Structure 1
Amino acid sequence: SWPREAIKRLELLRNWRKISELVANAARGVIGEDLMAVYVVGSIAEGKAGVYSDIDIVLVVSNPKYKNIDTVIEVKLKAEELGVPVEAPIDVKILTEEEFNEYTKTLYKKRVLVKKYK
């Protein structure tokens, strides 16, 4: 039933910090030294998450070659191996440092640093 699904989803959203840390570890495994930082943005960072929210995770990379769907899929699969539930509502975006810095002026004014590598 919908309410049970909604409750399950809210539980996952409430665990956003642990989930985003696992995604950061997964991304580090996939991207390696080119991963600079991992942030949570969007409604969670703004403190406005609701049942339809996603955990919006931004991977900041030093090499634009990682900006593709294959990297996103690899990171998600690795995150599942590390314990992120398959049904966790995560949305992974990959940006260069320049792109991320541009976004922080508008879209990502509120953001939560999960891990910084450089």
Structure 2
Amino acid sequence: MLNGRWARYALERFSLLKRWRELAAIIARACREVAGDCEVYVVGGAVEDRLTVLSDIDVVAMVEDPALRTIDVVIAVKRRAEELGLPEDAPIDLKIFTPRNSKNSWNAAFIKKPSG
């Protein structure tokens, strides 16, 4: 029985992951509504075409104001994104960076900027 539930969960999760462009566009819109002017990028497995059922969608929002780099802002963005249609169980990993801290803490190339 456990295997059946895991398989169902895996299929549902992977179907969400395949919609990464659509979900990232919702996150991008929510970021701009909550944090104002910012650049939003998708990085990692989604844009590198190496998603697995255990993956998440890595989204980076670049903001100028360091005061926006808080968990409260991340929560506000995710809540707004859900209001805009993001499924509650969407596997999104949102990080907020400033240009200064991105040079120190993010080594991956920014690959794709979602529209929205």
The reply to whether residue 111 of structure 1 matches residue 115 of structure 2 is: no
> Aligned equivalents of 1:102 and 1:45: distance in 2?
22
Gaps of 5+ in 2: none
> Aligned equivalents of 2:88 and 2:58: distance in 1?
15
Question: 2:51 is paired with a residue of what secondary structure?
Answer: coil
Q: 1:46 aligns with which of 48, 56, 69?
A: 48
Question: 1:57 is paired with a residue of what secondary structure?
Answer: strand
**Which AA in structure 1 matches 2:64?**
S
> Aligned equivalents of 1:99 and 1:29: distance in 2?
22
Gaps of 5+ in 1: none
Question: 1:78 is paired with a residue of what secondary structure?
Answer: helix
Aligned CA distance change for structure 1 residues 103 and 113 (closer, same or farther; 3 Å)? farther
> Aligned equivalents of 1:26 and 1:53: distance in 2?
22
Higher Rg: 2
Deviation beyond 2 Å, 4+ runs, structure 1: 98-104
**Which AA in structure 2 matches 1:15?**
R
Q: Which residue of 2 aligns with 1:26?
A: 30
TM-score, length basis structure 1: 0.87
Q: 1:68 aligns with which of 47, 51, 70?
A: 70
> Aligned equivalents of 1:45 and 1:111: distance in 2?
7
Give 1 or 2: higher strand fraction: 1
Q: C-alpha root-mean-square deviation of aligned residues, in Å?
A: 1.7
Q: Is the 8 A contact 1:39 1:115 kept in 2?
A: no
TM-score, length basis structure 2: 0.88
> Aligned equivalents of 2:70 and 2:113: distance in 1?
22
Q: Percent identity?
A: 41
Count of aligned pairs: 112
